[in-house]
Structure 1
Amino acid sequence: MEAKHYWREASLMMRVYVVCEGPTEETFVRNVLAPKLAHQQIFLTGRGVTTSRGHRGGALNYDRVKLFILNCLKEENATIITTFFDLYGLEKRFPGYEKSQAIIDVYQRTQFLEQALKDDIAQSNNTYLNRFVPYIQPYEFEGLLFSDISKLTDIHSEWSKALIKLQADRSDFETPEHINNSYETKPSERIKKALESVQIFASSKKSYRKTYHGPLAIQNIGIDKLCAECKHFADWYQQLTDLGTA
């Protein structure tokens, strides 16, 4: 994503709404990103898209996503709106989706989709252009855990038995963001299978719960490590930190 600078409020405080795919991403924003950026007077709030009546998370319907983003942009004219959606499972009606399938490089494909989303929102009102910073995570949130999988397996002692398998999965790919795009091979499925393979599910308290264990592992990994391992995430995070210097 091309880095851009955005204006700040006269109070030197920048408000950012992160439109999230589900509760896992909301928890990540609240527990990891928000405390880190608050020191720079950049205040992040995660907002989950309503995917059906009374529910948030799950498959993203683009009509609902677009309406949700536009409503957030209308609320306050100095607030930045960004997103945190997974590339995996993105609905085919998202802007640019069909054309994006011909793009082999995952970073180029993701950037193409982000720009298509930005352009579609701007068509509704071009004054939103400088306040909307779309972000799509290749291929999904759990890919970030592969930046240092030991931080996940450290959470419960039994999970250490899955470390070698998960590290082998990581070594097969250029970066955690390249861990690929099918139901059987997506990052979250690899984690689930690795943990199941060492039979650690005798206690439900120690089964993998993405909303709890995912953000907790990333909190232990740390933003610096994420940025070192995950280029696309690092570019987005730099855009957020740049808000404090605009």
Structure 2
Amino acid sequence: MQPTHEHAETSYEPFRIDADWPGRAEVRQKILSGNKLTASHKAEILETETLNEIVRSFSECAPAKRFVPYIEMHEFEVLLFSDAHILAEKTGIDISRIKSVLKAYPNPEEIDDDPAKAPGKRLATLRNGYRKVAMGKAVSEAIGIHAIRKQCPHFNNWLTKFEHLVGCAHGKA
């Protein structure tokens, strides 16, 4: 019998996964058919098909209850756009420039729609000398996980799944 308290998860950026990854063909076909997919919808397709493939390949391990696929449809920096004021304060970027980026998208998670315009590249363009690790850490700590979760629904859903697993493992769900 497999231990039920062990879980696995993935975290991938879609620009880095192989063309034959489960769900990639479906996403590509929908886009070629003229469908406008949000980042969250693309992630949902990829995550569902990834889980389906894991279930098919490892059915004896009950992966549907123990595996949490997560396709991070953005770079870490997109989470920093959760609070424009803190991002501006901690990086020295003019807030109007940050708000200009945010205005084009329904939520921060939709910002990374093109590898050439990735959030880290946007921040480096907005602030010469942007330091991904040091500034990213300072900004994310200042914003806090609750504000990030509120502004980034896909990220929040991923964390909620983990909270549910922990609750199940401790008899709380």
Q: TM-score range by the shorter chain?
A: 0.7 to 0.9
Q: Give the share of equivalent positions with the same residue, in percent.
A: 26
What does residue 100 of structure 1 align with? 27
Pairing 1:171–2:103 present: yes
Could you give the per-residue CA deviations for residues 5-62 of structure 1, whole angstroms, max 9, x where no partner exists?
Answer: xxxxxxxxxxxxxxxxxxxxxxxxxxxxxxxxxxxxxxxxxxxxxxxxxxxxxxxxxx
* 4+ residue segments displaced more than 4 Å: none
What does residue 52 of structure 2 align with? 119
**Contact 1:153 1:163 survives alignment (8 Å):** yes
Separation of aligned partners in 1, 2:86 and 2:15: 23
Q: TM-score, normalised by structure 1?
A: 0.58
Could you give the per-residue CA deviations for residues 134-177 of structure 1, whole angstroms, max 9, x where no partner exists?
Answer: 1112233221111113323333xxx3243321221011111101
The amino acid of 1:95's aligned partner reads P
**Contact 2:88 2:98 survives alignment (8 Å):** no
Counterpart mapping for 1:89-238 below 5 A: 89-101=16-28, 102-103=30-31, 104-106=36-38, 107-126=40-59, 127=61, 128-155=63-90, 159-196=91-128, 207-238=129-160
Aligned length: 159
The amino acid of 2:75's aligned partner reads E
| Structure with more of its chain in strand, by fraction | 1
Q: TM-score, normalised by structure 2?
A: 0.80
Could you give the per-residue CA deviations for residues 71-105 of structure 1, whole angstroms, max 9, x where no partner exists?
Answer: xxx9x652211222223443323211121122532
The amino acid of 2:77's aligned partner reads E
Runs of 5+ consecutive residues of structure 1 not aligned to the other structure = 1-73, 197-206
**Contact 1:152 1:213 survives alignment (8 Å):** no
SS state of the match for residue 95, structure 1? coil
SS state of the match for residue 149, structure 2? helix
Runs of 5+ consecutive residues of structure 2 not aligned to the other structure = none
Offset at residue 109 of structure 1 (A): 1.5
What does residue 68 of structure 1 align with? none
SS state of the match for residue 92, structure 2? helix
